[in-house]
Chain A
């Protein structure tokens, strides 16, 4: 009732009621999704997310939440407003991470145990294709023009460039050990692929036709931290491409990399075993999931400082934000 009154008051003042942004965190061990208000950084609720929820994303309109329920062998779908569960999507076995195409129609899912990428239609809930890839597929990135999906295979150590038109692999690029994540820049001219055990991020320039050329590697060094613990996983790039943020796993840090020189500018201390990252839609904040301290760290993107941490469920894995 209070909310309604407040809403009315705001309308009376000529303002629309500001919809609070939300962050959804998948808790791999807790089998839950934590919902966080991205204005107040308060936890709004935590709801059941299926068994071993890992990859997490939202529909372009922000209304639906998709979760890889790895041990249920399907993608669970939730209403981002009511948190009600909607009909699930078939994913193939052991879905780990996925990427939704820009239109929101097709979901490209990495099936970790079966060396496949499954393509699922989110409207008809039908599997459109299964694409054989390398061993232990995980990272999934999509080019901004939607023409290529890049899958990384952790034991094969390749980035596979899959055409979203005919589902054929057009290019395979060998990278360092255990590639975890693939992220294009917003203009689509560059791709970053993190290698967890190799300890590097491979940088590729992408030609007009989508062809990749390896142009460099980002390496990391933190005084007092054993090089073995600098394990790059999640990668996010600012809209203008000037900054690349790399989650460094058990090093408990997010690296800030200059998008032009590829030099590491700073290391931001976050929670323990940091894996995935996501910006808030306005790119003011970057959130990191810290699997061993069961929290997320909020990083102010402009100042490149950690501003607070929020306790979530057990072993947070992935995070997605909506307006």
Chain B
């Protein structure tokens, strides 16, 4: 009998006897794939060495504090790997008996990892990859998405723009595939909420255009030129998933307009200045523990592990299938410092959640916006909805 099976047996006994007093250990792993990256436009966006992992440390503390009263212990290991080593490390994690894995990786690796995990009966949580496709035709039954999708992020921006009556958009898209995918999400969002793309422009990634030292002089000259002569628009929407130009758009446009999307007002899961709905407590606990400020990915990992903790607390089981079933059930709800409970879409495994609109300084607004109604939940106005979903793995 493996250690994992022993834990399961102990948990089953707790469930049967109704007394949650036996010590049980809930084991999880965070697997982060690190890609070669260029420097971000802003030093504020530098990735900490422990990005994501810090969220896991806090989650273990939070879950452990609760678990103490129920006889549940939580142990999460963290793993940073190169893309080439991702599958190998996952195999090692699975060989240790861990069946709950939080992944920080791009979409392609994520699917490979989720499929390998499925063979071992493991449940995977996506804490990073935003590709909408992963929640659509490419969805996987053992893959739950805590990270919001590109479509959710784009819809969050679009709702705010429409609420402001900024309906005429100049869409500026980067030239890389990820930028184009995000651009497509904004295009769909415009159609969904009644905004109009008066013009689209592509800002070519020619490489080597990082502007350090006196680079601002160049930026100040190039961007007005690039945005000159556009049809009349209310707002500039930037789709720059690669992070090479959108950060420079505010204040450098030919026509003075607000910027939203990848620059200016950005949609995020969490940011360090967010304090509403008790988030101050989350921030202070995180900062005390890690000596740095939180990033969305830290929050996503924390939230994924809190989903596990909540499911174990309520069901008394740490078995992946039981956690999945509970998370997707109507009974599941979780407080996440966003003013309302977060729940899962049971038809594609995406976590429903409000999206914060952040200007780099404070929470400017939170979507969904007032007045955008939905027959199930206002949160379902963000991202793919059930009728348009091509996901069949959850049927």
Contact = CB atoms under 8 A, between A and B. Distances in A.
B339 A228 contact: yes
A156 B333 contact: no
Contact of B341 (A154, A172, A177, A250): A177
Given A174-B313, A178-B278, A226-B378, A156 B69 contact: yes
Interface string B312-335: 011000000000000000000111
A115 B341 contact: no
Interface string A170-189: 00101011100000000000
B65 interface: yes
Interface string B270-307: 00000000100100110010000000000000000000
A214 interface: no
A158 B340 CA distance: 18
Contacts, number: 64
B65 A174 contact: no
B66 interface: yes
Given A174-B314, A177-B341, A154 B335 contact: yes
A226 B368 CA distance: 12
Interface of A: 94, 112-113, 115, 132, 134-136, 153-158, 160, 169, 172, 174, 176-178, 196-199, 226, 228-229, 250
Contact of A169 (B69, B70, B341): B69
A224 to B, nearest CB: 12
A177 B68 CA distance: 18
Interface in B122-164: none
Q: Report, nearest first, the 4 A-B pairs whose CB atoms are least far apart.
A: A156-B66, A197-B335, A228-B340, A177-B335
B335 A158 contact: no
A199 B340 CA distance: 9
17 contacts: A113-B281, A132-B68, A134-B69, A135-B62, A153-B66, A154-B278, A155-B62, A156-B69, A174-B313, A174-B314, A177-B335, A178-B278, A178-B335, A197-B335, A198-B335, A228-B341, A228-B377
A135 B377 CA distance: 28
A155 B335 contact: yes
B46 to A, nearest CB: 27
A112 B62 CA distance: 13
A178 B281 CA distance: 13
A41 B340 CA distance: 35
Interface in B328-378: 333-335, 339-341, 377-378
A226 B388 CA distance: 24
Contact of B66 (A158, A196, A197, A229): A158
B333 A176 contact: yes
A198 B281 contact: no
B65 A135 contact: yes
A189 to B, nearest CB: 25
Given A154-B278, A228-B378, A197 B340 contact: yes
Contacts of B70: 172
Contact of B69 (A158, A177, A228, A229): A158
A172 B65 CA distance: 13
A132 to B, nearest CB: 8
B288, B313, B335: residue with the most chain A Cβ atoms closer than 10 Å: B335
B191 to A, nearest CB: 25
Contact of A198 (B61, B278, B285, B333): B333
- Most B-side CB within 10 Å, residue of A115, A155, A169, A228: A155
Contacts of A132: 65, 68
A249 to B, nearest CB: 9
Contacts of B334: 177
Nearest to A226: B378
Given A156-B66, A198-B341, A199-B341, 19 more contacts: A112-B281, A132-B65, A134-B65, A135-B66, A153-B66, A154-B278, A155-B335, A156-B69, A157-B313, A158-B69, A160-B69, A169-B69, A172-B69, A174-B314, A177-B333, A177-B341, A196-B335, A197-B340, A198-B335
A160 B278 CA distance: 20
B249 to A, nearest CB: 33
A25 B115 CA distance: 57
A248 B367 CA distance: 21
A226 B372 CA distance: 11
